[in-house]
Structure 1
Amino acid sequence: MSWRNRAVHTVLGAVANRGFEVHRHPATRRQSMLDRHRIDLVLDVGAADGGYGTGLRAFGYTGEIVSFEPIAATFAQLGEVTASDPRWSARNLGLGAEAGSATINIASNGFSSSLLPMLDAHIDAAPQVRYVGEETITVSTLDIETAALLTDRRPFLKIDTQGFEREVLAGGAATVEAVLGLQLELSLVPLYDGGMLIDEAVSWAYDHGFRLVGIEQGYAAPTGEILQIDGVFVRTDTEA
């Protein structure tokens, strides 16, 4: 073994002894999948402050992004991120089963805000995160918002709506038929009242012609228990 390889093994061993593991970032695998399927449009539902889109750009995605974020203050932060990117647009909307308005619960950390009540499992895992207010938001549907976007495109759908995924999908039947892949938040335990759990979400995906090709860790409790993961799916009949 060369001195260089010995040095690498020494470093990896020291990292492992402290409970960490060095491995390929899951976003690199996701980007390989986007490249393979020639994705040129990402629908970013539940964009928050733009972290998902920023990650896409960091790992090499150069196509169009359309982000949806309903909370006014968070949307303002998102706008600062998208302002310098001509291929990334943002809409100040929530998405659901039908168009209208709704009251969203604002969480202290912003990212846990939801249209659904937060359950004890979430509070126990992160006692510092609580609902601190409410805001009336405008709600549209995926199919309304994508009607003029999907012609001659190869779209990918990401939904991160803190338990509200079922309703977003219910308002996007035509969109779901058009997308070549999707990323869904998969809850292993109930975190929001009425939220879709992993068994329902995966079954829904397979029933609609998708298969699971990647898993990305999402939310874990201080005990080490993983509460949420993200699942990346592609169509079973998609040709690269």
Structure 2
Amino acid sequence: MSTNKRSGTRPSAVIRALSYLFARKVFQGWNRRLLKLALYLNGYDQFGAVATTGEGYFVQLLSRFGVRTCVDVGANFGEYSRLLLDNTSADVIAFEPLPQAFRVLREVEAKFPGRYTPINMGVGDRSGQLDLYFGPGNLELASFSQEVNNIGYVARRNVDSISASVTTLDDYFFSGDTSSIGSIDLIKIDTEGYEYEVLVGASKTLARFKPKFVQVEFNWHQLFKGQSMYSISGLLPGYKLYQMLPYNAGMVERDPKSPEASIYHFSNFVFVRFDVAKLLPG
């Protein structure tokens, strides 16, 4: 009888009996449903309205910490930017390379004069030009990464491409025009598989500003990029990892070294600076 390699103990008699019964083929449909439910309740397969993804809870949490400057990388049509602007007193700098989406961000800028700065550029690990793949009816799936076309629904929809201007956060925040920025409290990154590259290009920004929170999307995309939550966490020393729970139920701490932190289903994770993590509600 094999032992549980994680704990060094044998599975209990109850677990062995249940496994013997429910591992049969006839139960596999139910097992898949239970697995899907368990993943959802643990913060996976979270997409759609902010009330269900847990992002509403997180933004309310941000307001308690008096955030002053937030960076929205991959702003798309500005839904998350507006959430920040409506629920905190922070200024928001938003990056969006798609011209169609950027036009909507200009409207957000007009609604929040002096607080919103949209930048019509993508963000990556080096400045220059990159091909951006997108679909006319699904701009939220746009990505600089060709690897994500291994995902069927992405390949079917991202049928167009344009050459887009790209900067790094380091190049942007260490230029003369932005030298007056005194703090960055949040960096949110939603770049459809390009999150790692954004962080690589932000090493000086992270070291200088030490943002309280870094939010990243984690999905099927990272599987085809050969990335994990552990590899992403290596770019963020001095931070604890938390996962958003559905229906604004809060956040739960995750160990980036644990396999359960790198399940390739849509999820939102937040890296919280160590000293700030001590102040989070229990």
What TM-score results when the alignment is normalised by the length of structure 2? Answer: 0.64
Structure 1: any 5+ residue segments left out of the alignment? 1-18, 218-224
Give the Cα separation in 2 of the matches to 1:230 and 1:85.
Answer: 26
Percent of matched pairs sharing the same residue = 25
Alignment check: 8 A CA contact 1:104 1:137 kept = yes
Does residue 53 of structure 1 match 2:43? Answer: no
- Structure 2 residue aligned with 1:171: 201
In structure 2, what is the equivalent of residue 111 of structure 1? 140
Residues 237 and 84 (structure 1 numbering): CA distance in 2 closer, same or farther, change over 3 Å? same
Paired letter, 1:106: F
Count residues in correspondence. 206
Structure that is richer in strand per residue: 1
> Separation in 1 of the partners of 2:180 and 2:244?
26
- Return the alpha-carbon distance in structure 2 between the equivalents of residues 237 and 155 of structure 1: 13
- Note the C-alpha offset of 1:195: 6.3
Contact 2:66 2:89 in 1 (8 A): no
The CA distance in 1 between the partners of 2:245 and 2:205, in whole Å, is 24
Secondary structure of the residue that 1:76 maps to in structure 2? helix
Pairs within 5 Å for 1:199-210: 199-205=230-236, 208-210=237-239
Query: Tell me, what secondary structure is at the counterpart of 1:44?
Result: strand
Q: Secondary structure at the match of 1:145?
A: helix
Shift in Å at residue 130 of structure 1? 1.5
- Check if 1:75 corresponds to 2:102: yes
Q: Distance in 2 between matches of 1:43 and 1:150?
A: 15
| Equivalent pair of 1:165/1:195 in contact (CA under 8 Å) | no
The answer as to whether partners of 1:215 and 1:230 remain within 8 angstroms in 2 is yes
Larger radius of gyration: 2
The 3-state SS of whatever aligns with 1:83 is helix
CA distance in 2, matches of 1:143, 1:210: 19
| Aligned-residue offset at 1:183 | 0.3
8 Å Cα contact 1:116-1:195 kept in structure 2? no
Q: TM-score, normalised by structure 1?
A: 0.74
Task: Give the drift of 1:154.
Answer: 4.4
Equivalent pair of 1:109/1:129 in contact (CA under 8 Å): no
Structure 1 counterpart of 2:198, which letter?
A: V
Change in Cα spacing, 1:192 to 1:68, as seen in structure 2 (3 Å) is farther
CA distance in 1, matches of 2:180, 2:58: 21
Alignment RMSD? 2.8
1:160 is matched with 190
Runs of 5+ consecutive residues of structure 2 not aligned to the other structure: 1-36, 42-50, 247-262
Alignment CA distance shift 1:150-1:119 (3 Å): farther
Deviation digits for residues 127-161 of structure 1, max 9, x if unmatched? 79511211011111101212325743242100111
Q: How does 1:19-30 map to 2 (within 5 A)?
A: 26-30=54-58
More helix per residue: 2
* Structure 2 match to 1:40: 68
